[in-house]
Amino acid sequence: MPSKRTSVSHSTPAQLGANSWGELRRRSSDIPWVLTGGFLGTLARYFLGFLGEPLWVLVAINSVGCLLLGMIFALRRSDRLTASGYALWGTGVMGSFTTFSGVMVLLVAPSAGVLTWLVVLASIALGIALAWLGQRLVGRGTS
């Protein structure tokens, strides 16, 4: 895991502005971290998928992912995680571990009923709450 602090800005790819090509070129050294994290997150997601009913496994994976990503984001924002660390854990691991497309597939499946819709809506609310909680848990020790 990268531990060296850098002077790289706190921006995530979604926050990059119109002049993002220079920033992307500068961060190309993070690609191996994203790939490694993607591999690890994908493996975890794949094996956890065997543990139960797809809808409930998906809710559990996305809920845990929201909590962890909230914590990872807060660590990055407070400078306790490097840009490379965020690339590994945030973009790589959490990006491949959680899913939005899996939720959509469940919603359009012929077997999707009212319960499926209610669970998905509840999991969105839960995800928001857990992402907030993750940031607060990490943020306790910061000014």
Q: Would the annotation count 65 as a binding residue? A: no
Q: Contact at 8 Å (CB) between 132 and 70?
A: yes
Domain boundaries, the chain: 30-139
Q: Would the annotation count 98 as a binding residue? A: yes
Close Cβ partners of 60 (under 8 Å, ≥ 6 residues apart)? 48
Residues 103-125 pLDDT 10s: 887 888 888 899 999 999 999 99
Does residue 136 or residue 14 have the better pLDDT?
136
> What integer pLDDT is reported at residue 99 of this predicted model?
85
